[in-house]
Chain A
Amino acid sequence: MSARPRVVFTGMGAVCGAGLSVREIWESVLAGRSAVQPLRRWNAQHWPVGIAAELHGVNNRTLVEDRKLHKMLSRTDLLGLYAAGQAIRHSGVVEHRQGLSPEETARFNDRSGVFAGSGGGTYQCNYDFFPLLTNAKGSMQVFGAEVANTVNPMWLLRNLPNNVLCHVGIGHGFKGTNGCITNQCISGVAAVAEAANAIREGEADRATVVGHDAAIDAETLVNFERVGLLAREALRPFDTDRDGTVLGEGAAAFMLETLDAAQARGATVAGEFLGSGSTTEATGVLDIRPDGGGLISAIRLALADANLVPGDIGMIVAHANGTVASDASEVTALRAVFPEGIPPVTGFKWALGHTIAASGVLDLALALKALQASVVPGIPTLRSLDPRLAPFPVAAAHRTPRGSTALVICRGFGGMNLAAIVRASAPSIGE
């Protein structure tokens, strides 16, 4: 087999209701604090569902310093650019580039990829047309004639799903291979997988990857509620009383590099990307196969890609979104893949809310933290394991991983499943 480059994490950034960095979010999770609270963004007093994991107390300038950009960015972009900036700073690649010759710099930029996983848009962005609709009083002719006087000329640019991709590129001069994935929940983690594969295949030497979303949108909430996906008071994965998920908002980002490039510049390596697998269940937007079929294949593909067997997995970060069907089929799938015993399982949405396109990347970042700390964080909202799912190794208390690799599961609308496997710390250890 030809030796394909190994891909390592050399920078991390994150933001969500639970904190303004991977470390803050990790500490919040470890302390058992959840960001899920009564909604504050709008008055939800009369709403049947009034909880979300909102990010509070952070103004736009904290997220993106350059005020000129604000009129061209929506909230999801601000979150994404914040996390990406952190990951890039943390990695030290820009400082490294400063020491290169002009020719080396040009090559460095052409070999620096950027991948984003984006929520793709909100209902809310269309509301900028509401004053115009009111003024037009049903006349399309007036609507067309007045649009330039009523709506921000930058409206489209503010709402491009690939905004974070372009602004990361422009802001840092990265010009390599790129992609922006809009595949609902799995967008972010699919961006990580595609970036890692681009590096393995020699298309780039490094890549910035961001997953970002701002799903706490009134109409989205109404619709999630209407299709029965939202929890009333807390997100309780795998619990007897689980009644749905909770919407969140946030972003997470990584700098991925070849191991050789990271070692050559003396970078600190936070972990290694070992493999991934992805499948669709072909069941339409909302339905999930109860037998976990698509997820089973995705995990087995990830194991094969990582050249590992189930016994090598030290812990699992489950999708654990708290809905009746997803949690149950996830347990079924894990039982099938790990007949000899499932390693300790946790999930993070109880604390972060479901950040949709960002969720898988946040989970990956926290998985690396968990492996580094050798702690599988407990799920405090779990009161009693659903007996239909028992036995299943989840707990309210912290546990210890049984090895140094983590399997991270991400699932989404459209029957999408993505499984990724990472390992913490310097890959030279234990080789």
Chain B
Amino acid sequence: MDVTVIAETSGDRLHPVTAQLVGAVVSIGGTPTVLCAGGMGAAEAASISGVAKVISVVGDCFGTFDGGAWAEALNAVTGGDVIIAAASSTGREIAATMAAMRGIPIIQDATNLAPGISVTRPIYSGKAIETSTVTTPCAITLRANAFDAAGGGGSAEVSTVNQSADVAVAVREAIAKASERLDVAEANIIISGGRGMGDPANFSYLNEIADIIGAAVGASRAAVDTWEEIPHDMQVGQTGKTVTPSLYIAVGISGAIQHLAGMRTSKYIVAINKDPDAPIFGVADYGIVATWEDALPALKVELGKL
């Protein structure tokens, strides 16, 4: 089974999820050809174990993001029975457009694959899990951190293809993030605050702790909707970001079902809440019944000792 893997990049580097895509393809007996849009990350992709070949696709259209143009250019250089991409916003768009171009089905955000092809994915933001089978040819996007990454040490051949497409989305202005903080979708540790923080200014306590442990700061929907100082890109939950960090610390978050949907698959969850009956304790590995005013200074001291 020939599989086209769309490399995920972060800036001009290869994103680590790309090795997970390759690992998943190899695990179901596929032969992965990795496509690097704009040539980004091609050398790194070639060193992933199990990669059959790398095609560096170079063209003017890759200067800015137009999912339609990227898909058209990538689609022109490859066949394959299956298209695999990361379930990031760009990966989803490129894969969905390529699938539509080929008239083949797409299944997004898979968390497990088995030969067949059998696909497992969360639905209703993780309130249920769906298993389905899909006929090939098809496209599938994979959730980050759900698959074991292929190792290094590979030495696949890299070929370069010049292929561009007409760009229909013109970037007029780039507006940098207001804060330089780590994005919750990318972070390995997240500390999130809810309406229990009382005031958006109190998020500074979360920022201080985040700085100590290299965490991103998130927020519940209640906090985002209540305080305009807390932007939507911090929101974790069903209408925000779905996250799977290794450690998620929820502070002053009661644990509404929409919030749990976005963070319940975190590897370890710590909850700090003054209400012992808060639903967040139902998913917490370590629950601390205390006010944030008492707990956060202690947490800062203890983490500072590490």
Physical interaction between A and B: no
List the interface of chain A (C-beta within 8 A of B): none
